């Protein structure tokens, strides 16, 4: 049940829950009426704990009232005079009383701000093969001048992953209104593979992207703010960069229906060889519940997964902020947005137009 209609009531211990199951209102035994999110996270309360409460009534006159022993008054929403009004716990996380004409009379003001790029679903619009299962094959070959003979020198190894390229190509395809090939096998060679490698190299935005990676990987960079960073005499910490620099720019892009490539810093090191420990994902939506942020992502390591998320709190950029991920085990220390420019896919014959 997600609502109380006129004349209905809620006993102590009773609950009403949003259809998506993420928000629940409960009349607690301690006298408090509390709205919880998944994981028992409180988002609103009547602040009546310590009072004796017997029942919560959605009265015929439109008022939501808590009564104690002998029908004694405890708390109300002050919405009387609106006959036919009713209460609902919505999927957006808000607790609302509407009048008979559908006008909001009162709310807990706990709505979850959310947005996703229309039409994008990882299982439809992203590759169906895994970044972690590329075969042992070179990214490309160097061919020395003729005096050195007709030889090829292999450079790089796809088995280490080309996640940045996969993320860039998925955005290229989406902006071209094209679907990716149906293959579930990670390629080695051919036009699609060569295009992936080209976009993989582009995702580093040489030399700027490598510089950003090495800066954020540096163990000397603090995760939090310092006295010197607060006055501009030292670099900002990782939490500040994620919350104050990257997130606002990312939100503007997502609200404008742009997919956002995101580079994940997964190691602390000054050794350039460790650049391969990092990763890239594609952000296509978000949910912002108060200061709790959850990013919806396509992760190339988990093809056809539609519920992959990266989440963290934006409450305090001065403090070390842990980033949680729903898929994968490596810790995310920081992230940034690599510079992306559109490129029309050159393996277009292998793709299928959306809606065909």
Q: How many domains in the chain? A: 2
Q: Which of 111, 140, 174 is the last residue of a domain?
A: 111
- Whether pLDDT at 53 is above 90: yes
Q: Residue 292: what are its φ and ψ, rounded to 5°?
A: -95, 115
Q: What is the SS3 assignment for 86? A: strand
Whole-number Å distance between alpha carbons of 250 and 164: 17
Of 37-41, 87-91, 281-285, the least confident: 37-41
pLDDT > 90: what percent of the chain? Answer: 88
* pLDDT higher than threshold 80 for residue 35: yes
Shared-domain flag, residues 19 and 152: no
Q: Are 14 and 26 in contact (CB under 8 A)?
A: yes
118 and 96 belong to one structural domain: no
> What pLDDT, in 10s, does the model give residues 124-160?
999 999 999 999 888 866 555 555 556 555 567 888 9
Those residues whose C-beta lies under 8 Å from the C-beta of residue 343, and which sit 6 or more positions away, are 168, 172, 198, 199, 202
The share of the chain scoring above pLDDT 70, in percent, equals: 93
Q: Which of 161, 171, 176, 172 is nearest to 129 (CA)?
A: 161
| In a domain? residue 356 | no
Residues 56, 122 within the same domain: no
Query: Are 159 and 184 contained in the same domain?
Result: yes
Is 89 part of any domain? yes
> pLDDT tens digit string along 208-264?
899 999 999 999 999 999 999 999 999 999 999 999 999 999 999 999 999 999 999
Tens-digit pLDDT profile for residues 185-196? 999 989 999 999
CATH number at 101 reads: 2.90.10.10
pTM here?
0.85
Return the pLDDT at 138.
82
* pLDDT value, residue 139: 81
- 224 and 344, same domain (yes or no): yes
Of 232, 261, 241, the C-alpha closest to 333 is 241
| C-alpha distance from residue 127 to each of 116, 155, 183, 214 (Å) | 19, 24, 8, 28
Last residue of a domain, one of 85, 111, 137: 111
Last residue of a domain, one of 81, 111, 141: 111
Mean pLDDT of 273-294: 95
Supply the range of the domain harboring residue 193.
114-349
Is residue 38 domain-shared with residue 118, that is, in the same domain?
Answer: no
Instruction: Answer whether 27's CB lies under 8 Å from 11's CB.
Output: yes
Same domain, 180 and 325: yes
Q: Are strands 153-155 and 178-179 parallel, antiparallel or unpaired?
A: unpaired
- For the cut 60, the answer to whether the pLDDT of residue 354 exceeds it is no
Q: How would residue 346 be classed by pLDDT, with cut points 50, 70 and 90?
A: confident
| Helix, strand or coil, per DSSP, at residue 335 | strand
Is residue 110 within 8 Å of 93, Cβ to Cβ?
yes
The CA distance from 262 to 34, in Å, is 37
Please check whether residues 325 and 338 belong to one and the same domain. yes
* pLDDT in the model for residue 143: 55
The position carrying tokens 């994981």 is 39
Residue carrying structure tokens 């510079």: 339
Task: Name the band, by pLDDT with cuts 50, 70 and 90, for residue 351.
Answer: very low
pLDDT at 39: 87
Q: Which helix (H) or strand (E) holds 172?
A: helix 163-175
User: Whole-number mean pLDDT of the chain?
Assistant: 93
Asked if pLDDT for residue 356 goes beyond 50, the answer is no
Rounded CA-CA distance 107/88 in Å is 10
Q: Is 263 left (phi over 0), alpha (psi -120 to 50) or beta?
A: beta
pLDDT at 149: 56
- Give yes or no: residues 123 and 87 share one domain: no
- Residue 124, phi then psi, degrees to nearest 5: -105, -45
The predicted pLDDT at position 347 comes to 85
Would 355 be classed as within a structural domain?
no
Q: Is residue 146 part of a domain?
A: yes
């Amino acid at each position: 049940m997600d609502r109380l209609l006129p004349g209905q009531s809620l006993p102590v211990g009773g609950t009403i829950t949003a259809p998506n199951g993420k928000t629940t209102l409960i009349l607690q035994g301690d006298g408090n009426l509390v709205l919880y999110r998944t994981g028992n996270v409180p988002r609103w309360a009547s602040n009546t704990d310590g009072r004796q409460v017997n029942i919560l009534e959605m009265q015929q006159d439109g008022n939501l009232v808590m009564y104690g022993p002998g029908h004694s008054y405890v708390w109300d929403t002050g919405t009387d005079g609106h006959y036919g009004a009713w209460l609902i716990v919505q999927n957006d996380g808000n607790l609302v009383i509407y009048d008979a004409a559908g006008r909001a009379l009162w709310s807990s003001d706990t709505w979850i701000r959310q947005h996703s790029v229309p039409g994008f679903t990882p299982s439809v619009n992203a590759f169906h093969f895994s970044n972690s299962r590329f075969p042992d094959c070179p990214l490309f070959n160097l061919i020395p001048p003729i005096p050195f003979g007709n030889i090829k020198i292999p450079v790089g190894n796809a088995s280490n992953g080309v996640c940045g390229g996969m993320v860039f190509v998925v955005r290229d395809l989406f902006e071209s209104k094209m679907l990716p090939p149906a293959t579930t096998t990670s390629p080695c060679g051919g036009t699609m593979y060569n295009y992936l490698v080209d976009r993989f190299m582009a995702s580093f935005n040489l030399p700027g992207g490598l510089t950003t990676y090495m800066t954020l990987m540096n163990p000397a960079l603090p995760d939090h703010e310092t006295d010197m960073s607060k006055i501009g005499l030292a670099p900002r910490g990782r939490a500040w960069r994620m919350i104050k620099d990257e997130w606002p720019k990312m939100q503007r892009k997502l609200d404008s229906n742009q997919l956002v490539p995101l580079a994940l810093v997964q190691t602390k090191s000054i050794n350039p060889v460790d650049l391969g420990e990092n990763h890239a994902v594609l952000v296509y939506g978000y949910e912002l519940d108060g200061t709790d942020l959850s990013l919806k992502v396509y992760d190339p390591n988990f093809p056809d997964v539609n519920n992959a998320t990266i989440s963290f709190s934006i409450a305090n950029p001065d403090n070390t902020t842990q980033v949680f991920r729903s898929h994968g085990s490596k810790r995310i220390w920081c992230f940034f947005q690599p510079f992306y420019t559109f490129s029309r896919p050159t393996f277009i014959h292998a793709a299928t137009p959306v809606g065909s």
